[in-house]
Amino acid sequence: MIPYNYFAILSVILFAIAIYGILAKRNGITLVISAEIIINAALINFVGASEVFNSYDGASYALIILIMAVIETVVFIAMLIILSKKTGSVSLSKLRKFRG
4-58: per-residue pLDDT in tens?
Answer: 899 999 999 999 999 999 999 878 889 999 999 999 999 999 999 998 888 888 8
Q: Domain of 31: which CATH number?
A: 1.10.287.3510
Please choose, from the candidates 57, 31, 33, the residue with its C-alpha nearest in 3D space to the C-alpha of residue 45: 57
d(Cα 16, Cα 62) in Å, to the nearest integer?
20
44-100: per-residue pLDDT in tens?
Answer: 999 999 988 888 888 899 999 999 999 999 999 998 898 889 888 888 777 777 776
Identify whether 11 is part of a domain: yes
Counting beta carbons within 10 angstroms of the beta carbon of residue 48, is it exposed (0 to 12), middle (13 to 18) or buried (19 or more)?
Answer: buried
Identify whether 100 is part of a domain: no
Identify whether 76 is part of a domain: yes
pTM: 0.84
> Which residue range(s) make up the domain with 51?
4-94
Count of structural domains within the chain: 1
Identify whether 27 is part of a domain: yes
Identify whether 99 is part of a domain: no
Q: What is the pLDDT of residue 100?
A: 64
